Amino acid sequence: MPNIQIKSYQEYEEAYKRSVEDPEGFWSDIASTFTWRKKWNTTLEWNFEEPNVKWFKGGRLNITENCLDRHLKTRGNKLALIWEPNDPKERFVRYTYRELHEKVCQFANVLKKNGAKKGDRICIYMPMIPELAFAVLACARIGAIHSVVFAGFSAVAMADRINDAQCSMVLTSDGLNRGAKQIPVKRVVDEALERCDSVKKVIVVERLGWAVNMVDGRDVWYHDEVQGVSKDCPAEEMDAEDMLFILYTSGSTGKPKGVVHTCGGYMVYAQYSFSNVFQVQENDIYWCTADIGWITGHTYLLYGPLLSGSTSLMFEGVPTFPDMGRFWQVVDKFGVNIFYTAPTAIRSLMGGDIDDVLSYSLDSLKVLGSVGEPINEEAWHWYHTHVGKERCPLVDTWWQTETGGIMISTIASITPMKPSHAALPLPGIQPILVDAEGKEITDNEVEGYLCMKFPWPSIIRTTYGDHERARLSYFSTYKGLYFTGDGAKRDKDGLYRIIGRVDDVINVSGHRFGTAEIEEAINHNSHVVESAVVGYPHDVKGQGIYAFVICKDVPEREDYLRAEIIETVVEKIGKIAKPDKIQIVNGLPKTRSGKIMRRILRKVAEGDTSNLGDTSTLLDPDVVDEIKAGAL
C-alpha cells in the first residue's frame, strides 16, 4: 500500500494543516505515489467564478493502469473482486488482480472491435454482475467516457441521459435478478433506443439466459464477441483533465445533470479517501453494498478499492432476500472486515427480528460505514451495537456525486466519532458554514449552509454539455464558494452534523430526486393539471415523496387515479421515484406572484399543521384549510 495513510490523530492534524497551508505540495506528494506516463506541469489551477478547476495539468495517465497493471507484480494472485450472486444457492465468483486485468482487457478489445474509441460516450445499463465492473473499467481502459445509468431507471429516463451525452453505444444484459424477481433489462433498452439516434451498437451480456430481441446490425451478444479476443489491451494514454465519466444526478431544477469527473484528480482522491477513512489494511475484505449505478459504487466499490490493491466484494442481491439476515450471512461467509452501507438499509433491517442479526457471528468486522443520507441516532446505535458489537468504529461519510469522494467523515479509530455526525473534514477539504447572505459563520455551536472554499482533486469539473449550468448550480449562490445544497450544524468541538438538503432536492432511500423532476413526470398524466411534490420524514426511506395533485376530472374511484399517476412516474423516471402519498386537491397555496409556498405543503406532509406561519400573502388562504382537512 503506498504510504498515504494517516496513522494517528497527530498525523491527521499535521496533514490537515499542510493541506491548507500548502495544498499543492500536499496533493503533489500524494499524486506522486501513482503511476503516471508523464508527470504534470502545474499541480492546481483554479477559480470558482467560471468555474475553472484543473488538477495535475499536463499529467498523462490511465486510471486502469493504476487500478490493475501496477498491482500485477506484487498482487497478481491477490483477490481483486469477489462476486456474490442474488441467490445464495448460486456459486460466487472470484477474480484475482491478474484475472480481472484479463477480463477488463478483453472487454476493452470487444469495445474496440465494435467501433468504440477514445472520447466516445458509452451508456452502461447493467445489473450488479461482474461484467458491469469489467465494462466500466474497459471504457476507462480505451479512454471512452462511461455514463452508468442505474438499472432501476425507466426507458424514458435512460433515453434522456443517452441523448444528453450523445452516447454511441449501450452495454447491457438480457435481464436482472432482484430478490425473488427477474426483470427484463434488454426490453427497457429497446424501448429507450426508440428515442435515441446516436446509439449505433448494443452489447448484451447474458445473465438470465432469456431469449431477447436482437436488432440486426445493432445488437451483439458479449459471449459471441469475446470469442478469440486477446487478453491484452494497451491502455490509452489520457490527459489528467480528460473526462473519465459522466454520472447523472438530480438538482432542484429541470432534468438531471451530467456530473463530469476527470481522470487524474478523481483517481488521486478516490484512493486517498478510501484508504484513509476506512483505514484499509492489506488483507482486508471490503464490502460496499451500493450499486455501481450510483457515485458510491463508482468510487468505493470499484475505483477506490482497486486503486488501493484491495479486495472488493460486489453483491447482486438485496438485503432482504431470501431473508432479513442476508447481509450478515454474506459478512460471515467471506469474513468481511469493512462494511459500508446506507442508513435506509439499516432501518429496513432494524424492523426485523433481532435474531436475524444475532445468529451470525460478525466477528470479522472491524469498521462500519454509512453513506447517502443522515443516519438518525436510533439507526446509528442499532448498527453500532448489534452489527459492530460496540467494537467497530462507525464512520458516517458525507459527500455527493459532485464531490467525487468522501469530504467530511470520521477516520476510523483516528478522528472523533459521534452518533449522527460526519465529524471532521478530511485533509484537503475546507468546509465553511455561511448565513443566508453568504457571510462565513466562524463560531461553533451554529447552523448554516455548507460550502467549500477551496478545490479538492475530485471536485465536479462541469455539467456535461452545459458549463453555465454547473456555474449556476454550485458556484453562483455564494460568491467564490462551492455550495453543497446541504444545511449543517457545527458543535462546540467543531464536529459537523449534516441536516439535509435546503433546496428542492429530496433524498429517498439515499437516492436523490428533484421535486421539479417528479412533478414534471406526474404532470404527464392526462388527468393532471398541476402538482407539487415535497419530502416528508419516512421511517425507513429517510424521506418519502408526498404529491399534492390538481386534476381536471376526478373519477369516482380516487384510488384508480392514484394508481395511474404512480404508473406515469414509473414510466418517466422509474419505480424508485414512486410517490408514497398522493393527495388530490382543488388548489395549491400560491403567492400573488404565482409561486407555490412549499413551506406550507411540507408542514402538511409532516403532519404538523398547528403552526403554518404567515399565510397572509397567499392568493387564496382557503386552499390551506382544504389541504389540511384532506391530509393523508
Footprint of ligand PRX on this chain (CB under 6 A)? 249, 295-296, 370-374, 396-401, 422, 484-486, 498, 500-501, 507, 512
User: By the 8 A CB rule, do 285 and 82 touch?
Assistant: yes
Minimal distance in Å, beta carbon 293 to ligand PRX?
11
Minimal distance in Å, beta carbon 538 to ligand PRX?
15
Q: What's the grid cell of residue 348?
A: 429496513
Please list, in sequence order, all residues whose beta carbon lies within 8 angstroms of the beta carbon of residue 387, skipping any fewer than 6 positions away.
328, 339, 357, 362, 365, 368
DSSP H helices, 383-490, are 467-470
- Of 222 and 483, the one with the shorter C-beta distance to ligand PRX is 483
- Of 455 and 535, the one with the shorter C-beta distance to ligand PRX is 535
Q: Taking the CA atoms of 519, 165, 315 and 411 in sequence, report the sign of the dihedral they define.
A: negative
Minimal distance in Å, beta carbon 129 to ligand PRX?
22
Task: Provide φ and ψ at 430, rounded to 5°.
Answer: -120, 80
- Of 501 and 603, the one with the shorter C-beta distance to ligand PRX is 501
Minimal distance in Å, beta carbon 152 to ligand PRX?
14
Q: Any idea of the CA torsion for 398, 403, 407, 412, to the nearest 10 degrees?
A: 70
Minimal distance in Å, beta carbon 61 to ligand PRX?
25
Which residue is at the shortest CB distance from ligand PRX?
Answer: 401
Q: For the CA atoms of the chain, what is the radius of gyration?
A: 24
- Of 62 and 507, the one with the shorter C-beta distance to ligand PRX is 507
Between the CA of residue 155 and those of 193, 281, 326, 535, what are the distances in Å?
8, 41, 30, 25
Minimal distance in Å, beta carbon 488 to ligand PRX?
9
- Of 101 and 501, the one with the shorter C-beta distance to ligand PRX is 501
Minimal distance in Å, beta carbon 450 to ligand PRX?
8
Minimal distance in Å, beta carbon 136 to ligand PRX?
17
Minimal distance in Å, beta carbon 512 to ligand PRX?
4
- Of 258 and 485, the one with the shorter C-beta distance to ligand PRX is 485
DSSP 556: S
- Of 306 and 422, the one with the shorter C-beta distance to ligand PRX is 422
DSSP 545: E
- How remote is the C-alpha of 68 from its chain's centroid? 23
Please list, in sequence order, all residues whose beta carbon lies within 8 angstroms of the beta carbon of residue 203, skipping any fewer than 6 positions away.
110, 111, 114, 169, 170, 171, 172, 219, 220, 221, 222, 225
- Of 106 and 507, the one with the shorter C-beta distance to ligand PRX is 507
CA distance 508 to 84: 26
Minimal distance in Å, beta carbon 422 to ligand PRX?
5
- Of 150 and 334, the one with the shorter C-beta distance to ligand PRX is 150
User: Of 337, 310, 315, whose CA–CA distance to 327 is shortest?
Assistant: 315
- Of 172 and 509, the one with the shorter C-beta distance to ligand PRX is 509
Q: What number of residues does the chain have?
A: 632
Between the CA of residue 277 and those of 305, 381, 573, what are the distances in Å?
12, 20, 34
CA distance 577 to 516: 12
User: By the 8 A CB rule, do 362 and 112 touch?
Assistant: no
Minimal distance in Å, beta carbon 396 to ligand PRX?
5
Between the CA of residue 575 and those of 147, 155, 569, 580, 632, what are the distances in Å?
20, 12, 8, 11, 21
User: By the 8 A CB rule, do 171 and 126 touch?
Assistant: yes
Provide the residue type at 444 as one letter. N
- Of 177 and 484, the one with the shorter C-beta distance to ligand PRX is 484
Q: Which residue has the cell 484479463?
A: 102
